[in-house]
Structure 1
Amino acid sequence: MQHYPQSDLIALAERACLACGAGADMAQSLARASVSACRAGRQEVGLAHLIDHLHSLREGRIRGAAQPRIDSPAPALMRIDADGGVAQHGFDLAFAELAQRAQDFGLALLVQRNCYPAGELGYFVRRLAESGLIGLAAGNAHALMAVAAGGGKAFSTNPLAFAAPLPADRPPLVIDQASSATAFVNILRAAAAGQNLPEGWAQDVHRRPTTDPTAAITGALLPFGGYKGANIALMVEVLAAGLTGGRWSLDTGHFLTGHEPPGSGMVVLALSPGLCAPDFPGRLSAQLDRLAALGLHVPGQRQARPEAVPVDPKVIDELTRLAGG
């Protein structure tokens, strides 16, 4: 890893998005979300994953000229049709209104369909927590996870993310995890590095357990904790596909192949803690310190300084190439 100024990374990412066919607003949304993931230590779903977005823009899986459509059938509900674009674009367009409605009503729900898979799901709830709100998000993509060892693919990794605000001198609490034993990007990374997978992560195309990442790519991931992980995946599926009116994971297109937008879905719930407990950030901060003293790792606390964001130089080289040199 090398460190780069945040502003330089955002500018490079925007140029690459524009060069690959994104509209100006989409390019800005993707660039900022990708750099935010790198700052949070989520390199695999940061600028490295932006490269997947860029190829998808070129090959038609993301509609670069997408114009998200927003309506509001109830005061505390906002709906977005992403028009084949990216979830970050629609979220950015709705964010200010979503946050205001959460403050006004105590909670507000955003449902989005017809979008590319959401990438770092923690980005959406982290934005809310930085505005003093509690955030909960769920998203789906194409089916690549079996419901149990030996079973067929039924769900995507179906991640769930949660964030809560802390005092201004601390980054928010952010929990972002898949319902699978690992994220699919970790399988791809292991295959590229020629590394074996831990047991229990995946199975091959014949539904046999495997530690070979190449076999896992054409096979299936496995849920964490057996049926417990599968139950969480089902819950996310009901929210991200059922509630949004979007495609079920069995019907969603692959985010790395094909020439049509995959049509994933995402839900984001925003809650105003101050209306329930005015001293919420301070109380939570003190409780997290108590838990940390007992050995708890507090998620979300590791963020790079804006002027020194770590990125793999090979990723920078590829973004520079895709941006046109």
Structure 2
Amino acid sequence: MNQKVPCEEAFRLCKNALEQNDISAESADAIAKSLIDAELQGKSNVGWPHLVDYLEAVQEGRVDGQASPKINRSAPALFQIDADGGFPHTGVEQVFDEFVEITKNYGISALGVNNGYISGELGYFVRRLANQDLLGLAATNAGPALLAASGSKSPVFCTNPLAFAVPRKQAPPLVIDQSCSATAFVNIRKAAKSGESIPEGWALDSGGKPTTDPHAALKGVLLAFGGNRGANIAMMVELLAAGTTGANWSRDAPPFHIGNECTRTGLFIIALDANTMLGEDFSERVNDYLNTIQAEHQTYIPGEQRGLDAERRKREGLLIPDDVWKLLNKYDAKSV
């Protein structure tokens, strides 16, 4: 049975659970913000389940909860962050306000994180930029190689998500956040746990043959959406997230769910002040265009309904699955 609690209490319980597992208060605050935001957006696969993943990762030595990010500024509008085996959220949170300010001063800026653990919901980072009236683009190679490249039947890339967000006048921002795989890795892991089959086209087994068995998929390789075109985008993400930051290539990264080594993969973010480039209110121009194609062509606008649902959940509270509720309360009792 799910428990519904106010968002502020959900955040407190989440942050406390992280802190009770030897994660610094600064990192716990940054991570809890991202997890609660994922739940507000209705992205349950990368909300509470990721809290469990993060706790296990710290307990088993895959990530350093006390890591202190190292910030380097090689140019006025470039932010280079070494996560030092910790969570990428911490360094991004440290520089976020300055990142926004620099973008508005220079028109554009870029941020790269290396040596970090998985970043969770990628859309969180660009949505925050859109809420500051900026356009955001983000890429991460996240973890070990799971996805076949063009012409390959063996894993070369991780699922390599790409996220893009633009502000809208008097409406939730447009947010596109999707992996380059035909489905997210968590969906295959979920199907394996529940005993469900997966659709054809999602994965190959260890012998390079198409499979609908999630257990065989976990031992094989995921496929890109759209065939070679999706695989080409995965390569673009790899070069942005790992190539420009100096992070591990996906093929060199250890697993993010077992073992005691950090993936040390990369996160890459570009922020653009489109108002400066355009010379007028970009968010108003975007909103007029999106409203038109929605009205005249019944176009689905990514992020719109999620944004409206998020506002409702802020008022009504968040649902917490029973197993997570018990876990949160176990750590809450220890903190008393």
* 1:315 corresponding residue in structure 2: 324
Aligned-partner SS, 2:254: coil
Note the alpha carbon deviations across 1:41-94, whole angstroms, 9 max, x for none. 111011221110110011111101100000100011010000111111111011
* 2:144 corresponding residue in structure 1: 142
For normalisation by structure 1, the TM-score amounts to 0.96
* 2:283 corresponding residue in structure 1: 281
Note the alpha carbon deviations across 1:276-298, whole angstroms, 9 max, x for none. 23221111112112222313221
Deviates more, 1:305-314 or 1:65-74: 305-314
Contact 2:200 2:212 in 1 (8 A): yes
Aligned-partner SS, 1:164: strand
Deviation at 1:172, TM superposition (A): 0.9
* 2:314 corresponding residue in structure 1: 306
Task: Please point out which of 296, 299, 316 is paired with 2:299.
Answer: 296
* 1:133 corresponding residue in structure 2: 134
Aligned residues: 324
Distance, in Å, in 1 between the alignment partners of 2:6 and 2:38 is 14
* 2:208 corresponding residue in structure 1: 207
Contact 1:139 1:266 in 2 (8 A): yes
Deviation at 1:194, TM superposition (A): 1.6
Note the alpha carbon deviations across 1:20-42, whole angstroms, 9 max, x for none. 11011000111110000111111
* 2:65 corresponding residue in structure 1: 64
Distance, in Å, in 1 between the alignment partners of 2:245 and 2:197 is 37
Structure 1 residues 194 and 321: alpha-carbon distance in aligned structure 2, compared to 1, 3 A threshold = farther
Distance, in Å, in 2 between the alignment partners of 1:61 and 1:268 is 24
Structure 1 residues 24 and 219: alpha-carbon distance in aligned structure 2, compared to 1, 3 A threshold = same
Distance, in Å, in 2 between the alignment partners of 1:312 and 1:125 is 27
Letter in 2 for 1:153: P
Distance, in Å, in 2 between the alignment partners of 1:312 and 1:284 is 37
Deviation at 1:262, TM superposition (A): 1.1
Deviation at 1:219, TM superposition (A): 1.4
* 2:259 corresponding residue in structure 1: 258
Structure 1 residues 150 and 266: alpha-carbon distance in aligned structure 2, compared to 1, 3 A threshold = closer
Aligned-partner SS, 1:265: strand
Please give the residue correspondences for 1:80-229 in structure 2 after superposition, counting only pairs within 5 Å.
Answer: 80-140=81-141, 141-148=143-150, 151-167=153-169, 169-229=170-230
Deviation at 1:120, TM superposition (A): 0.3
Aligned-partner SS, 1:89: helix
Runs of at least 5 residues in structure 1 that lack an aligned partner in the other structure: none
Structure 1 residues 291 and 59: alpha-carbon distance in aligned structure 2, compared to 1, 3 A threshold = same
Contact 2:31 2:90 in 1 (8 A): yes
Distance, in Å, in 1 between the alignment partners of 2:39 and 2:126 is 16
Structure 1 residues 232 and 323: alpha-carbon distance in aligned structure 2, compared to 1, 3 A threshold = farther
Runs of at least 5 residues in structure 2 that lack an aligned partner in the other structure: none
* 2:12 corresponding residue in structure 1: 11
Letter in 2 for 1:306: K
Deviation at 1:113, TM superposition (A): 0.1
Deviation at 1:324, TM superposition (A): 5.5
Deviates more, 1:139-148 or 1:233-242: 139-148
Identical counterparts, % of pairs: 43
Distance, in Å, in 2 between the alignment partners of 1:246 and 1:7 is 35
Q: State the superposition RMSD in angstroms.
A: 1.5
Distance, in Å, in 1 between the alignment partners of 2:329 and 2:152 is 43
Structure 1 residues 323 and 196: alpha-carbon distance in aligned structure 2, compared to 1, 3 A threshold = farther
Contact 2:3 2:325 in 1 (8 A): no
Distance, in Å, in 1 between the alignment partners of 2:128 and 2:210 is 38
Distance, in Å, in 1 between the alignment partners of 2:333 and 2:17 is 7
Contact 1:148 1:222 in 2 (8 A): no
Aligned-partner SS, 1:172: strand
Aligned-partner SS, 1:289: helix
